[in-house]
Chain A
Amino acid sequence: MKRIGIVYHEDFKKYDFGPGHPLRGEECMDRSSAFDLLENHELLKNLTDVRFYEPVGASEEEVLSVHTKEYVEFVTRLNEAGGIISMDTPAFKGMYSVAKLFTGAAILAEKLVIEGEVGKSFAFTMMGHHVGADFGGGFGAINDVAISIHHLRRHYGLNRILVVDYAANAGHGTERIFYDTSEVLCIDIHQDPLNLYPGKGFPEQVGRGEGKGYTVNVSLPPYSVDEHYIRALNEIVLPIAYEYRPEIVIAVGLNGCHFTVQINQLMLTLHGLKETVRALSTISNDTCRGRFVNIGGFSLDRKLSGPGFLATVAGALDIEIDLNEPYEMPETIPDVSEDVTEAIESVRDIQRKYWRCLQ
Chain B
Amino acid sequence: MGKIAVVYHDDFTKYDMGKNHPFRGGRYQCFDEVFSHEILAARKDDITFVRPKPAGDEAIRATHGNDYIDLIEALDRDGGILTLDTPVPQGIYSAAKLFAGANILAGRLVLEGIRQRVVVLGLGAHHAGYDFGGGFSIINDIAVMIEYLRSNYAVKKIAVIDFDAHCGDGTQDIYYFDPGVLCIDIHQDPLTIFPGWGFSYQIGLGQGLGYTINLPFPPGASDRDFELAFSEICVPVVKEFQPEILVATGSLDAHSGDPMSGLNLSSRGYLQLMKSICNMAEEACQNKMVLILGGSYNLQLVPEVWLASIAAVLEAEPGDYGNSIESRQGSESQGEQAVNLIGSVKELLKTYWTSL
A residues in contact (CB < 8 Å) with B: 68, 70-71, 73-74, 84, 86-87, 133-135, 137, 180, 194-195, 199-200, 202-206, 208, 212, 350, 353
Cβ of B201 and Cβ of A194 under 8 Å apart? Answer: no
Cβ of B197 and Cβ of A68 under 8 Å apart? Answer: no
Contact with A along B123-165 (1 / 0, CB 8 A): 0000000111010000000000000000000000000000000
Cβ of B202 and Cβ of A135 under 8 Å apart? Answer: yes
- Is B199 part of the contact surface with A, judged by Cβ < 8 Å? yes
Q: Which of A73, A180, A350 contacts B67 (CB 8 A)?
A: A350
* A-B residue pairs in contact (CB < 8 Å), sample of 27: A68-B201, A74-B199, A74-B201, A86-B196, A133-B205, A134-B203, A194-B81, A194-B83, A194-B84, A199-B84, A200-B132, A202-B71, A202-B132, A203-B67, A204-B65, A204-B67, A204-B68, A204-B70, A204-B131, A205-B65, A205-B67, A205-B68, A205-B132, A206-B65, A208-B65, A212-B65, A350-B67
Cβ of B205 and Cβ of A134 under 8 Å apart? Answer: yes
CB distance from A236 to the nearest CB of B (A): 15
Given the interface pairs A194-B81, A199-B84, A204-B71, the reply to whether A134 lies near B202 with Cβ below 8 Å is yes
CB distance from B79 to the nearest CB of A (A): 15
CB distance from B100 to the nearest CB of A (A): 19
Complex interface: chain A residues within 8 A of B70 (CB): 204, 350
Given A71-B202, A206-B65, 19 new contacts (CB under 8 A): A68-B203, A70-B201, A70-B202, A84-B191, A87-B191, A87-B196, A133-B205, A134-B201, A135-B202, A180-B177, A195-B84, A199-B134, A204-B67, A204-B70, A204-B71, A205-B68, A205-B132, A206-B67, A212-B65
- Is B47 part of the contact surface with A, judged by Cβ < 8 Å? no
Complex interface: chain B residues within 8 A of A68 (CB): 201, 203, 205, 209
* B window 301-315: CB within 8 A of A: none
- Is B229 part of the contact surface with A, judged by Cβ < 8 Å? no
Cβ of B203 and Cβ of A70 under 8 Å apart? Answer: yes
Complex interface: chain A residues within 8 A of B356 (CB): none
Contact with A along B324-356 (1 / 0, CB 8 A): 000000000000000000000000100000000
Cβ of A205 and Cβ of B131 under 8 Å apart? Answer: yes
CB distance from B93 to the nearest CB of A (A): 15
Complex interface: chain A residues within 8 A of B177 (CB): 180
CB distance from A113 to the nearest CB of B (A): 30
- For the A-B complex, the count of residue pairs with Cβ-Cβ distances under 8 Å equals 60
Tell me if A's interface is mostly helix, strand, loop or mixed. loop
Instruction: Compute how far the CA of A78 lies from the CA of B132 in the bound complex, rounded to whole angstroms.
Output: 30
Cβ of B131 and Cβ of A199 under 8 Å apart? Answer: no
Contact with A along B183-208 (1 / 0, CB 8 A): 00000000100001101011101000
Instruction: Compute how far the CA of A199 lies from the CA of B209 in the bound complex, rounded to whole angstroms.
Output: 26
Instruction: Compute how far the CA of A107 lies from the CA of B27 in the bound complex, rounded to whole angstroms.
Output: 54
Complex interface: chain A residues within 8 A of B131 (CB): 204-206, 208
Instruction: Compute how far the CA of A199 lies from the CA of B86 in the bound complex, rounded to whole angstroms.
Output: 12
CB distance from A211 to the nearest CB of B (A): 11
CB distance from A132 to the nearest CB of B (A): 9
Instruction: Compute how far the CA of A60 lies from the CA of B201 in the bound complex, rounded to whole angstroms.
Output: 18
CB distance from A180 to the nearest CB of B (A): 8
CB distance from B168 to the nearest CB of A (A): 15
Instruction: Compute how far the CA of A200 lies from the CA of B132 in the bound complex, rounded to whole angstroms.
Output: 8
Which residue of chain B is the closest to A87 with respect to CB atoms?
A: B196
* B window 182-238: CB within 8 A of A: 191, 196-197, 199, 201-203, 205, 209
Complex interface: chain A residues within 8 A of B65 (CB): 204-206, 208, 212
Which residue of chain A is the closest to B173 with respect to CB atoms?
A: A176
Instruction: Compute how far the CA of A35 lies from the CA of B60 in the bound complex, rounded to whole angstroms.
Output: 53
Complex interface: chain A residues within 8 A of B81 (CB): 194
Complex interface: chain B residues within 8 A of A133 (CB): 205
Instruction: Compute how far the CA of A194 lies from the CA of B84 in the bound complex, rounded to whole angstroms.
Output: 6
Complex interface: chain A residues within 8 A of B84 (CB): 194-195, 199
CB distance from A277 to the nearest CB of B (A): 29
Instruction: Compute how far the CA of A203 lies from the CA of B71 in the bound complex, rounded to whole angstroms.
Output: 10
CB distance from A82 to the nearest CB of B (A): 14
Complex interface: chain B residues within 8 A of A212 (CB): 65
CB distance from B217 to the nearest CB of A (A): 16
Instruction: Compute how far the CA of A137 lies from the CA of B132 in the bound complex, rounded to whole angstroms.
Output: 19
Complex interface: chain A residues within 8 A of B130 (CB): 208
Complex interface: chain B residues within 8 A of A87 (CB): 191, 196
Given the interface pairs A84-B191, A86-B191, A87-B196, the reply to whether A199 lies near B67 with Cβ below 8 Å is no
Instruction: Compute how far the CA of A74 lies from the CA of B177 in the bound complex, rounded to whole angstroms.
Output: 21
Instruction: Compute how far the CA of A135 lies from the CA of B167 in the bound complex, rounded to whole angstroms.
Output: 14
Instruction: Compute how far the CA of A32 lies from the CA of B177 in the bound complex, rounded to whole angstroms.
Output: 46
* B window 27-71: CB within 8 A of A: 65, 67-68, 70-71
CB distance from B96 to the nearest CB of A (A): 17
Instruction: Compute how far the CA of A110 lies from the CA of B53 in the bound complex, rounded to whole angstroms.
Output: 55
Which residue of chain B is the closest to A134 with respect to CB atoms?
A: B202
Instruction: Compute how far the CA of A86 lies from the CA of B81 in the bound complex, rounded to whole angstroms.
Output: 26
Q: Which of B67, B196, B197, B201 contacts A71 (CB 8 A)?
A: B201
CB distance from A48 to the nearest CB of B (A): 42
Complex interface: chain B residues within 8 A of A205 (CB): 65, 67-68, 131-132
Instruction: Compute how far the CA of A129 lies from the CA of B347 in the bound complex, rounded to whole angstroms.
Output: 29
Instruction: Compute how far the CA of A114 lies from the CA of B67 in the bound complex, rounded to whole angstroms.
Output: 36
Which residue of chain B is the closest to A74 with respect to CB atoms?
A: B201
Which residue of chain B is the closest to A353 with respect to CB atoms?
A: B67
CB distance from A220 to the nearest CB of B (A): 17
Which residue of chain B is the closest to A195 with respect to CB atoms?
A: B84
Counting chain B CB atoms within 10 Å of each CB, the highest count among A86, A180, A202 belongs to A202
Q: Which 8 residue pairs are nearest across A and B when measured between Cβ atoms? A: A204-B67, A70-B201, A204-B71, A74-B201, A204-B68, A205-B131, A350-B67, A134-B202
Complex interface: chain A residues within 8 A of B191 (CB): 84, 86-87
Complex interface: chain B residues within 8 A of A195 (CB): 84
Instruction: Compute how far the CA of A51 lies from the CA of B326 in the bound complex, rounded to whole angstroms.
Output: 70
CB distance from B205 to the nearest CB of A (A): 6
Instruction: Compute how far the CA of A86 lies from the CA of B191 in the bound complex, rounded to whole angstroms.
Output: 6
CB distance from A209 to the nearest CB of B (A): 9
Instruction: Compute how far the CA of A73 lies from the CA of B351 in the bound complex, rounded to whole angstroms.
Output: 15
Complex interface: chain B residues within 8 A of A208 (CB): 65, 130-131
Instruction: Compute how far the CA of A104 lies from the CA of B209 in the bound complex, rounded to whole angstroms.
Output: 27
Instruction: Compute how far the CA of A135 lies from the CA of B134 in the bound complex, rounded to whole angstroms.
Output: 19
Complex interface: chain B residues within 8 A of A84 (CB): 191
CB distance from A344 to the nearest CB of B (A): 16
Instruction: Compute how far the CA of A104 lies from the CA of B197 in the bound complex, rounded to whole angstroms.
Output: 28
Cβ of A73 and Cβ of B83 under 8 Å apart? Answer: no
